[in-house]
Amino acid sequence: MDYRFDTLATHAGYSPDKEHHAMALPIYQTSAYEFESVAHAKDLFELKAAGNIYTRLSNPTVDAMERRVAALEGGVGALAMASGHASMVATFLNLAEQGDEIVSSINIYGGAINMMGVTLGKMGIKVKFIDGDDLSAWESAITDKTKAFFVELIGNPNASIADVEAIADIAHRHGIPLIVDGTFCTPYLCRLKDFGADYIVHSATKYMSGNGTALCGITVDCGTFDFAGNPRFPQYNNPDVSYHGAVFGRDFGNAGFITRLRALILRDLGASLSPFNAFLIMLGLETLSLRMQRHCDNALKVAEFLEAHPDVDFVNYPGLKSSKYHALQQKYLPKGASGVFTFGLKGDRERAAKFMDSLELIKNVANLGDARTLVSHPATTTHSQLSEEQLRAAGITGQTVRISVGIDDIEDILADLEQAIVKSR
């Protein structure tokens, strides 16, 4: 039966076990699993049978959470790791090797820019950062070494909206997969597969958890990209020596990417998700739609309040009709534009700091997507490792304050913002 979103969010991936009939997902706090026989162990290690070998590779609690997220995104499979960054690195390394290139929007999380531009660069993978709004820049950046496009649907921190469908069309014309970070939107606000995303990454630490208690990253394979015969990807078309000649682009149907991600990349990087964290994320998913709608509703009210305030210089929220991204928001995010955006008070960096230090209910935190309302100053925290040129390209100034609007009472949020603005004068 084809269930709708909220039913999948509360049921997909797990049914009560036949022995104990537990309704809630059990936490399988184990490192290893008994094999039925020597032959069974051999089949597992050769990828000829599905099952658990060692929790570094898979675990029943983690597997249930992966299945649920895959169901919500409409993917053929998902793989969870210890953090959002771990999932990003693993996804890139599953496509690109030394000498290869990735094209990325500059309108993304600062830590991701640093990881991609510096750490991947040291591995011999070149990342070209472009203006994600300029469709011609995507096409111009392509070479025969390009292995992926990467973009955040809702850019961190300024809530720019990427035209995913148009970017996907460019990528696919050249035999290149599109990776989209869906952390800010979650599958409730946008099912990215429907717009051409091939692989979706999430920091499930954020909205999927919703309570700021567990780190988790997850990659979803939409099953839409065909590696067979694609000259850009010899690693998917040639026999793999570590798995007795398995050809990932041929032998695993449309799940070759996610199979290789687990069998090779997770196996060797070892950034496994703990069963307890998977359990916490699973609890968060049950209320995802309820929370996301409240985040969106509250965020729009906060953005409208700030836009009308005489002390506010700018507001970057695509849900506002004045935003240059409003038409794209209506296309990709008709339920709401999520809860994270930026604004700036009239003045300088010092006023922004005084404003933030004057907040009482709202907390200054590096996280986002929490049930509570949070703020941060990107230029001195999340994007502080960027050069001045990169900050300008990303649209970040000393005035810029990022707010992650929570599910607190909207009147209390607005009152705290107002009193802090007054004190910052």
Q: How far is CA 126 from CA 120, 143, 387, in A?
A: 7, 12, 18
Greatest Cα pair distance in the chain: 74
What are the distances in angstroms from CA 214 to CA 61, 115, 363? 14, 22, 18
List the Cα angle 133/103/114 in 5-degree steps: 95
Torsion over CA of 266, 74, 294 and 83, rounded to 10 degrees? Answer: 0
Q: How far is CA 388 from CA 93, 265, 351, 384, in A?
A: 29, 34, 20, 9
The residues with which 128 forms a beta bridge, in sequence order, are 103
Domain boundaries, the chain: 13-284, 289-423
Give the containing element (helix H, strand E) for 200: strand 199-203
Least confident span in 30-44, 197-211, 369-383, 388-402:
388-402
Q: Are 257 and 94 in contact (CB under 8 A)?
A: yes
Tens digits of residue pLDDT in 285-309: 999 999 999 999 999 999 999 999 9
In this structure, what DSSP letter does residue 379 have?
A: G
Residue with tokens 């199979």: 259
Answer whether residue 374 shows pLDDT above 90: yes
Joined together, the tokens standing for residue 340 give 């994270």
> What does the pLDDT read at residue 39?
94
Low-confidence winner among 6-15, 45-54, 194-203, 223-232 (lowest mean pLDDT): 45-54
pLDDT number for residue 19 = 84
Residue 318, preceding bond cis, omega within 30 degrees? no
The CA–CA distances, whole Å, from 254 to 152, 206, 237, 250, 409 equal 24, 29, 13, 8, 45
Q: Over the chain, what is the mean pLDDT? A: 95
Whole-angstrom Cα distance, residue 140 to residue 100? 16
Angle among Cα 121, 126, 131 to the nearest 5 degrees reads 115
Distance CA 180, CA 171 (A): 12
Residues 205 and 20: their CA atoms lie apart, in Å, by 30
User: How far is the C-alpha of 238 from the C-alpha of 111, rounded, in Å?
Assistant: 34
Separation CA 212–CA 93 (nearest Å): 28
302-334 confidence digits (pLDDT tens):
999 999 999 999 999 999 999 999 999 999 999
Q: Is 401 helix (H, G, I), strand (E, B) or coil?
A: strand
63 pLDDT band, cuts 50/70/90, is very high
pLDDT tens-digit series, residues 218-267: 999 999 999 999 999 999 999 999 888 999 999 999 999 999 999 999 99
Strand-pairing partners, residue 80, are 218
Is the torsion defined by CA of 213, 219, 221, 225 positive or negative? positive
Residue at 269: amino acid letter? L
pLDDT score at 56: 94
393: Cβ–Cβ under 8 A, 6 or more apart, which residues? 106, 129, 131
- Residue 388, pLDDT score: 77
- What is the spatial distance between Cα 60 and Cα 29, in angstroms, rounded to a whole number? 9
Min mean pLDDT across 53-57, 60-64, 91-95, 213-217 is at: 53-57
Fold of 13-284: Aspartate Aminotransferase; domain 2 (3.40.640)
Element (H, E) at 203: strand 199-203
**Residue 385: pLDDT above 80?**
no
**Cα distance between residue 378 and residue 366, in whole Å:** 9
User: How are beta strands 101-105 and 126-130 bridged, if at all?
Assistant: parallel
pLDDT band at 47 (very low <50, low <70, confident <90, very high): confident
Q: Which helix (H) or strand (E) holds 152?
A: strand 146-152
Q: Is the pLDDT of residue 384 over 80?
A: no
3-state secondary structure of 380: helix
**CATH superfamily of domain region 289-423:** Aspartate Aminotransferase, domain 1 (3.90.1150.10)
pLDDT in tens, 273-289: 999 999 999 999 999 99
| pLDDT value of position 396 | 81
